[in-house]
Amino acid sequence: MKEYQTITEISGPLVFVETDEPVGYDEIVEIETSDGETRRGQVLESTSDYVAIQVFEGTSGIDRKASVRFLGETMKMPVTEDLLGRVMDGTGQPIDGGPEIVPDERQDIVGAAINPFSREYPEEFIQTGVSAIDGMNTLVRGQKLPIFSASGLPHNDLALQIARQATVPEEEEGGDDEEGSEFAVIFGAMGITAEEANEFMDDFERTGALERSVVFMNLADDPAVERTITPRLALTTAEYLAFEKDYHVLVILTDMTNYCEALREIGAAREEVPGRRGYPGYMYTDLAQLYERAGRIEGREGSVTQLPILTMPGDDDTHPIPDLTGYITEGQIYIDRDLNSQGIQPPINVLPSLSRLMDDGIGEGLTRGDHADVKDQLFAAYAEGEDLRDLVNIVGREALSDLDNKYLDFADRFESEFVDQGFDTARDIDETLELGWDLLSMLPKEALNRIDEELIEENYREDEDAAAEAVEAEA
């Protein structure tokens, strides 16, 4: 292995080295500083005279005399089933003081694209126990469903609640080991604070979830450039566990906003032509290479389901990060500041939220035959109520018709009963849908135009008082 001491330029996270032998694009590099410290990096551009290296751990302390070694291979992640229960830093080095990891395989962290022809369409319902998700925006195995949040909102609590409660209903009956596929959680943290990290770790330890989890921690004070590889390590591990070892893997990535900031930093250091708001023009492609690693593959037992979390700068969903994410992922869950200040837990705003894979994941045999109709009607009625709230502020309740008043009451109860269930309650899908019927029965039968007539006859609570009692009893 050839060593160079020919660094010509150091700029931000980038180091430029003159070389006399060809170096492969994306290759891994080790840089040894004069005080003996080793830094790792990756080739960003390779020409016959020089290469540009992006250094993961930051460039401070590197000088012209630092020696640079090219390892002749692209970045690999050592993977094994024994990773379960382990905690690693953002570059994949164990930090839990456990034994050294003996890998079964070393896999390329970039990950090749899954051939669309080899994919299997995801349609297995995952019960998260959260009504606003199960009932209104159902998650399925192999889906990528981000949580759109903002600073100061409890997105972490929701992610933890999902990680704790997620099950697939049939398996509960058949027993976990029947198909040989187990559930695993991969947690990739990018630039979160030590406090947030503790919150996650405490919860993992408290619930015993840690033993079926792999944790990658890049904290807020870790080098920013390292964040660009953390999610790739996490996803490489996820793919290995899912497609080689038959696990159903849930990958939680938080916070994607920090990841994108790191991309911007590298782009700026390379003096690239910036796209919107200074983010690189290839950010869509880059994000897609992460998000598209969710899915199912024909003939393989396991699945990779992604739950990325991102905080929208200024609560603005047209900002490039949520915007590009929304175009790639299969829906999104919005955390709402107003609902949060009303104390609703989890404060999910169902109206702008969406699960694109829902229509194929629900219905007879999957959830329940009336699920689709009930969902449509709940959406329509809640939207109607939301609209009327604006009007009430101007003209007052008295000026509205009876029906309009019912819609307003419906919207209130929808939030306080259907959405607000607390972070510790798990509701199964039957409970969620029955609650939906209870609420819909506040409206006259004729107003339920999205539901099949037969279903209305079967489920409509004729007696309003009885319906109200039923709700109280359940609440």
Partner 1 sequence: MSQATDTDVREDGIIESVSGPVVSARDLDARMNDVVYVGSEGLMGEVIEIEGNITTIQVYEETSGVSPGEPVEGTGSPLSVDLGPGMLDAIYDGVQRPLDVLEEKMGSPYLDRGVDAPGIDLDKTWEFTPEVSAGDEVAPGDIVGTVPETPSIDHKVMVPPDYEGGEVVSAESGSFDVEETVVELDNGEEISMRQEWPVRSQRPADEKQTPTEPLVSGQRILDGLFPIAKGGTAAIPGPFGSGKTVTQHQLAKWADADIVVYVGCGERGNEMTEVIEDFPELEDPTTGNALMDRTCLIANTSNMPVAARESCVYTGITIAEYFRDMGYDVALMADSTSRWAEAMREISSRLEEMPGEEGYPAYLSARLSEFYERAGYFENINDTEGSVSVIGAVSPPGGDFSEPVTQNTLRIVKTFWALDADLAERRHFPSINWNESYSLYRDQLDDWFVENVREDWPEVRQWAIDVLDEEAELQEIVQLVGKDALPEDQQLTLEVARYLREAWLQQNAFHDVDTYCEPEKTYRIVNAIQTFNDEAFDALEAGVPVDEITDIDAAPRLNRIGVQEDYGAYVDDLEEDLAAELQEKY
Which residues 438-467 are close enough to bind partner 1 by CB under 8 A?
A: 446, 449, 453
Q: Which residue, 139 or 210, is less far from partner 1 as judged by CB?
A: 139
Which residue among 5, 8, 60, 285 contacts partner 1 (CB under 8 A)? 285
Q: Which residue, 359 or 463, is less far from partner 1 as judged by CB?
A: 359
- Tell me if 30 contacts partner 1 by CB under 8 A: no
- Tell me if 25 contacts partner 1 by CB under 8 A: yes
Contact letters (x/-) for partner 1, 166-205, by CB under 8 A?
----------------------------------------
Closest separation between CB of residue 116 and partner 1, Å? 4
Q: Which residue, 161 or 311, is less far from partner 1 as judged by CB?
A: 311
What is the distance of C-alpha 169 from the center of its chain? 22
Rounded Cα–Cα distance for residues 18 and 24 (Å):
14
- Tell me if 390 contacts partner 1 by CB under 8 A: yes
Q: What is the DSSP letter of 250?
A: E
Total binding residues toward partner 1, as defined by CB under 8 A: 86
Copy the structure tokens of residue 109.
């962290």
Which residue intervals of 333-441 are DSSP H helices? 337-341, 358-361, 371-395, 402-413, 429-440
Which residue among 40, 337, 356, 368 contacts partner 1 (CB under 8 A)? 356
Which residue among 298, 412, 424, 469 contacts partner 1 (CB under 8 A)? 298
* CA 295-298-302 angle, 5° bins: 55
Copy the structure tokens of residue 70.
């090219």
Closest separation between CB of residue 364 and partner 1, Å? 13
Closest separation between CB of residue 255 and partner 1, Å? 20
Q: Which residue, 87 or 256, is less far from partner 1 as judged by CB?
A: 256
Positions 127 through 166 that interact with partner 1 (CB under 8 A): 142-143
- Tell me if 233 contacts partner 1 by CB under 8 A: no
Rounded Cα–Cα distance for residues 367 and 170 (Å):
10
Q: Which residue, 359 or 430, is less far from partner 1 as judged by CB?
A: 359
Cβ contacts of 65 within 8 Å, gap of 6 or more: 5, 7, 34
Which residue among 245, 293, 406, 427 contacts partner 1 (CB under 8 A)? 293
- Concatenating the DSSP letter of every residue in 153-221 gives S-HHHHHHHHHHH-B-HHHHHH-TTSSS--EEEEEEEEEE-HHHHHHHHHHHHHTTGGGGEEEEEEETT
- Tell me if 41 contacts partner 1 by CB under 8 A: no
- Tell me if 16 contacts partner 1 by CB under 8 A: no
- Tell me if 120 contacts partner 1 by CB under 8 A: yes
- Number of C-beta neighbours around residue 346 at 10 A: 27
Q: Which residue, 112 or 473, is less far from partner 1 as judged by CB?
A: 112
- Tell me if 328 contacts partner 1 by CB under 8 A: yes
Q: Where are the beta strands (DSSP E) in 212-337?
A: 213-219, 248-254, 296-297, 303-311, 331-335
Q: How far is CA 404 from CA 401, 411, 443, in A?
A: 5, 11, 10
Closest among 212, 211, 214, 218 to 197, alpha carbons compared = 218
Closest separation between CB of residue 47 and partner 1, Å? 3
- Tell me if 401 contacts partner 1 by CB under 8 A: yes
Q: Are 287 and 324 in contact (CB under 8 A)?
A: yes
Positions 236 through 275 that interact with partner 1 (CB under 8 A): 243, 272-275
Segment lying near partner 1 (by CB under 8 A), choices 41-49, 92-100, 227-235, 251-259: 41-49
What is the distance of C-alpha 363 from the center of its chain? 25
Which residue among 97, 100, 115, 221 contacts partner 1 (CB under 8 A)? 115
Closest separation between CB of residue 150 and partner 1, Å? 16
- Tell me if 47 contacts partner 1 by CB under 8 A: yes
Closest separation between CB of residue 376 and partner 1, Å? 6
- Give me the half-sphere count of Cα atoms (radius 13 Å) on the Cβ side of residue 113: 8
Q: What is the C-alpha end-to-end distance of the chain, expressed in Å?
A: 68
